[in-house]
Amino acid sequence: MIIRQLTFSNFLIFKGRQTLDLDRGLYVIHGETGFGKTTFLNGISWALLGRFNDRQGARVPDAVLLNQHAKKEQETEVLVEMVVNVDGEESLVRRTYDASTGVAHLYVRKGETTLHQDDAERFLRGVLDREVARFFLFDGEDLRRYEEMLAEGGEPQVREAVEHILGLPALMNAVTDLRAVAQDFRKKATSATRQEGKAEQAVLYSEQTEKGLDAAKEDLAGLEAQHVDQEVRRDQAEEVLGRDKALNQVLIKRDSMRSKVEELEKARDATVDRRQEALKGTWEDVLAGVVAPAQVAIEGDLQAAEHRERDELVIEKLNDSLSTGTCDQCSQPLHGDAADHINKDIEELRSGLPRPSRDLKDLRRIALALMGVKSTGRLNDAVSEDKRLGQLDRDIVEQKQMLSGLTVEAGPGTESAVRKATEQLENALKSLGFIEEKIKDAKEAVATASATLREAQLAVQKLSTSTESATLNARADTAEHLADLYEQAIGIFRDERRDQVGKDASEIFLGLTTSDEATGLRIDKNYGLVTLDSTGTPVPGRSAGQEQIVAFSLIGALNKNATRTAPVVMDTPLGRLDRGHRANVLKYLSDMADQVFLLVHSAEVDDSDLNEIRDQIVAEYEMRKEDEFYTVIERRQIG
Amino acid sequence: MTTEQADKGQIGLSEEVDLKIKEIIEEGRFDHEQDVYRLAIAIALAEDLEPAPESRAYKTKFNVGSLDPEHSLRTATQYLRIDHGGRPQAMMERLAEAGVEHIHSHLNAGKPLHELLVKYARADDSSTEEQTADVDEPRA
């Protein structure tokens, strides 16, 4: 496949409609970090595969694809469109997403025929399968990961993907078909023997076994259908969870804020209780404040009244002395001017008598009652609790406003949708595991039933004497023999292809590496590649740069041996390489595939690097950033 | 010949002010109406509020014995409001009426309760001395 034209419209950072006319060969696209190199790669992935992942491996939801400026300008459509040439035929591939409806759509016009949505997806899978795509559309960071994945005991799906590129599954289908043909002949032969009226028991057993096999196959097909259903459910759930990833963050924030509000409200309730408790005794403190001066006044009055009482008693005694003419102290008769002195004392005492507001008894009663009015200190508690409560109320209002903002941001129903999708994903994964176990058992049951049937059919064959039955069995034998031969041939072919991939990878590697010690690569059954030294001994351990060179070699070899080729789009693949390796890789790129897009930043590749391969470059493009949400892709004029 | 009217044993609030004390309770600051009522009398005494007219139709709410078991409010009223006319408990009712209106009006203006209370705080500030200086004689 060759991309002849590529158009982005409001796809993430690519605002408006931007079109690149392309052909075979090497394209270099320059862009600094954050300018849109990865977006370029992701746009192609999205158009061809309907999805792409972020660097953490999480699927990026369609809902976030619309350019921010376009969104503000009320535009709703995201589009990536390609004119592709597949096996000499031009097709138009257009994938869109409407942000207002949340609907994604794929349009494919193959030649003059517009394909239905399902056929369109099938067409694209044929052009570039999702598992295969990782060897064509990749990020520099992925390079080392591929080599790790392909190491001994690596992921089986990667091995399958490699074999898919090499065209092995299509060959395996032929074996399956031949075995089905053989089985059909055997059935017919058994049926012919029944018509002969011979070997009734054996025919009956064979037919029952056939039914058993059919049932086992049906079970297997049912389980495989269930597996597909669960995969769909898993994908749907992942889509929802992916779309709501950003919203999930909002929900986490909202939940944390909700807990904070709850805590504040609890603190508020406790403060309300403490304030109520404090307010019960507040009146006593207020009253104590009011009464305090009165207590002082009463105390003064009381002292005055007691003073008066004492003085009045003295006056009374002096009056008694005057009336009796006898001193009240010594009981001697009063002499001379003593009476005058006593009269003077009485006069002085009378003039100095204090005048309390109430009588002594009354004052004592009041003093006693006022003594009961005491400060409890709860007024201060009430004041501080009330202040604290005011602050808490303000905090709660503020937090609730923020919470309300976050709730609006999260949108209605998000939480339940996320919860439902999480549940669906868990169930789907659980079911998939369970179904896979059952599929394994069902496959064993099919194999056992097939073997039993084969024995029953052989028994029938021995007892049959008809020519028709013999002919049918002979045909079945031929078909089976062919299938066996084919299987052996595929095995040999697989080994040859693998060896070829190994040889090609080794050759590419030797062209790329700057090491004098390495003499090549050796491929293992999992398509893992080990570096060999001059003695042909595997070299343990490789640097990150070397791992990248090995990964480049494998990708190059796979592209060389692929039954169907696709453009190679590489985002920042040279970052870990030293100058020597970088120069070698750059020289090799135009041979790597029919069409190669190299996305680089200025620190990764400079003009002097590119000058070495200028004649191999069809065109260079420059990503120019207008603002945070707007990058323009412009053709760079050279020389 | 005039006969002295006996003092009240049950005191309360007018219909209108009763609604106000209920509003105060509903706002959740105080647990019981008694807490507001006692505070209202204390504040009325502290603020020297004009007692509500005796002629108002007061609805009985509390027994004075339960409201003021230690007679603190009664004694303070008796001493500080010598215009009680021999009926300090009736005076407490009139002061409570004025005090509840005072508290309600403060809160109704959106002012925090602590602003009303803080001036009676005695702990370690000078407010007590200032109050003492202000109130050195019984009020008529």
Helices and strands (H and E) in chain A: how many = 18, 14
pLDDT score at A80: 97
Q: Which of A283, A363, A364 to probe the B interface (max B CBs under 10 A)?
A: A283
A373 touches chain B (CB under 8 A): yes
State how far residue B37 is from chain A, nearest Cα, in angstroms: 9
State how far residue B132 is from chain A, nearest Cα, in angstroms: 5
Q: Is the dihedral of CA A510, A513, A517, A521 positive or negative?
A: negative
Look at residue B50 and tell me if it is in a domain. yes
- Candidate from B29, B35, B80 with C-beta closest to A290: B80
Q: Are B54 and B8 in contact (CB under 8 A)?
A: no
Kindly report the three-state secondary structure assignment for every residue of A209-244.
HHHHHHHHHHHHHHHHHHHHHHHHHHHHHHHHHHHC
Look at residue B86 and tell me if it is in a domain. yes
State the average pLDDT over residues B76-96: 92
Q: Which of A268, A275, A279 to probe the B interface (max B CBs under 10 A)?
A: A279
pLDDT score at A630: 93
Q: What is the DSSP string of chain B?
A: ---PPPPPSEEEEEHHHHHHHHHHHHTTS-S-HHHHHHHHHHHHHHHTPPPPPTTS-EEEEEEHHHH-TT-HHHHHHHHHBGGGTT-HHHHHHHHHHHHHHHHHHHHHTT--HHHHHGGG--SSSTHHHHHHHH--S-B-
Which residue in this structure is represented by tokens 């001697």? A332
Contact B42 A375 (CB under 8 A): no
A290 touches chain B (CB under 8 A): yes
Q: Are A463 and A198 in contact (CB under 8 A)?
A: yes
State how far residue B48 is from chain A, nearest Cα, in angstroms: 10
- Our CA dihedral for A601, A607, A612, A615, rounded to 10 degrees, sits at 90
pLDDT score at A176: 87
The DSSP letter of residue A539 is: P
User: Could you tell me if the ipTM is greater than 0.90?
Assistant: no
Contact A366 B38 (CB under 8 A): no
A280 touches chain B (CB under 8 A): yes
CA distances from A524 to A47, A147, A151, A388, A466 (A): 34, 12, 8, 73, 52
Kindly report the three-state secondary structure assignment for every residue of A387-455.
HHHHHHHHHHHHHHHHHHHHHHHHCCCHHHHHHHHHHHHHHHHHHHHHHHHHHHHHHHHHHHHHHHHHH
Look at residue B92 and tell me if it is in a domain. yes
pLDDT at B126 exceeding the cut of 80? no
pLDDT at B127 exceeding the cut of 50? no
> Which positions in chain B touch A394 (Cβ < 8 Å)?
none
pLDDT score at A464: 76
The most distant pair of C-alpha atoms in chain B lies apart, rounded to whole Å, by 54
State how far residue A260 is from chain B, nearest Cα, in angstroms: 23
Instruction: Report d(CA A136, CA A25) in Å as an integer.
Output: 15
Where residue B133 falls among pLDDT bands split at 50, 70, 90? Answer: very low
Q: Are A108 and A93 in contact (CB under 8 A)?
A: yes
Name residues whose C-beta falls within 8 Å of residue B32's C-beta, 6 or more positions apart in sequence. A280, B25
Chain A, window 239-278: residues with a beta carbon less than 8 angstroms from a chain B beta carbon: 272, 275-277
Name residues whose C-beta falls within 8 Å of residue A421's C-beta, 6 or more positions apart in sequence. A236, A237, A240, A241, A244
Domains and CATH numbers, chain A: 1-128+566-639 (3.40.50.300)
Which residues on adjacent β-strands are paired with residue A633?
Answer: A623
Domain residues for B68?
Answer: 10-131
Residue A11, φ and ψ in degrees, nearest 5: -90, 105
pLDDT score at A247: 66
Stated as kind and residue range, the H or E segment containing A299 is helix A282-324
CA distances from A118 to A98, A123, A125, A599 (A): 19, 9, 11, 32
State how far residue A389 is from chain B, nearest Cα, in angstroms: 10
State how far residue B118 is from chain A, nearest Cα, in angstroms: 6
A377 touches chain B (CB under 8 A): yes
Stated as kind and residue range, the H or E segment containing A197 is none
pLDDT score at A357: 72
Name residues whose C-beta falls within 8 Å of residue A441's C-beta, 6 or more positions apart in sequence. none
Look at residue B1 and tell me if it is in a domain. no
Burial of A475 (0-12, 13-18, 19+ CB in 10 A): middle
Residue B32, φ and ψ in degrees, nearest 5: -130, 155
Q: SS3 of A161, please?
A: helix
Burial of A27 (0-12, 13-18, 19+ CB in 10 A): buried
Look at residue B136 and tell me if it is in a domain. no
pLDDT score at B15: 96
Instruction: Report d(CA A601, CA A610) in Å as an integer.
Output: 12
- Please state the domain count of chain B: 1
CA distances from A23 to A40, A599, A632 (A): 17, 17, 20
Contact A290 B71 (CB under 8 A): no
Contact B46 A289 (CB under 8 A): yes
pLDDT tens per residue, range A283-311: 999 998 888 887 888 888 888 888 888 98
Going by C-alpha positions, the residue among A577, A288, A428 that lies closest to residue B76 is: A288
CA-nearest residue of chain B to A369? B75
CA distances from A432 to A47, A231, A242, A522 (A): 28, 7, 20, 36
Contact B121 A276 (CB under 8 A): no
Where residue B136 falls among pLDDT bands split at 50, 70, 90? Answer: very low
Side chain identity at residue A356, one-letter code = P
Name residues whose C-beta falls within 8 Å of residue A430's C-beta, 6 or more positions apart in sequence. none
Gyration radius (Cα) of chain A, Å: 49
Look at residue B3 and tell me if it is in a domain. no
pLDDT score at A242: 66
Gyration radius (Cα) of chain B, Å: 15
Name residues whose C-beta falls within 8 Å of residue A191's C-beta, 6 or more positions apart in sequence. none
State how far residue A388 is from chain B, nearest Cα, in angstroms: 10
Instruction: Report d(CA A480, CA A180) in Å as an integer.
Output: 9
- Bigger pLDDT: B85 vs A327: B85
Q: A195-214 burial by CB neighbour count: b if 16+ within 10 A, else e?
A: eeeebeebbebbbebbebbe
CA atoms within 13 A on the CB side of A297: 19
Task: Enter the pTM of the model.
Answer: 0.54
CA atoms within 13 A on the CB side of A566: 24
CA-nearest residue of chain B to A393? B112
Look at residue B4 and tell me if it is in a domain. no
- A and B: number of Cβ contacts within 8 A: 123
Name residues whose C-beta falls within 8 Å of residue A92's C-beta, 6 or more positions apart in sequence. A81, A82, A83, A84, A107, A108, A109
Q: Are B93 and B45 in contact (CB under 8 A)?
A: no
- Candidate from A287, A296, A380 with C-beta closest to B123: A380
Could you tell me the mean pLDDT of each successive run of 10 residues in chain A, 639 residues long?
Answer: 96 95 95 90 94 76 88 93 93 93 90 89 85 82 64 62 80 87 86 76 83 89 87 77 66 83 92 92 90 84 87 89 83 81 88 78 80 84 92 89 73 70 86 90 90 84 80 89 91 90 93 86 82 82 76 87 87 86 91 93 87 92 91 86
Look at residue B111 and tell me if it is in a domain. yes
Contact B46 A290 (CB under 8 A): yes
A297 touches chain B (CB under 8 A): yes
Instruction: Report d(CA A488, CA A363) in Å as an integer.
Output: 125
Contact B73 A286 (CB under 8 A): no
Structure tokens, A543: 């640097």
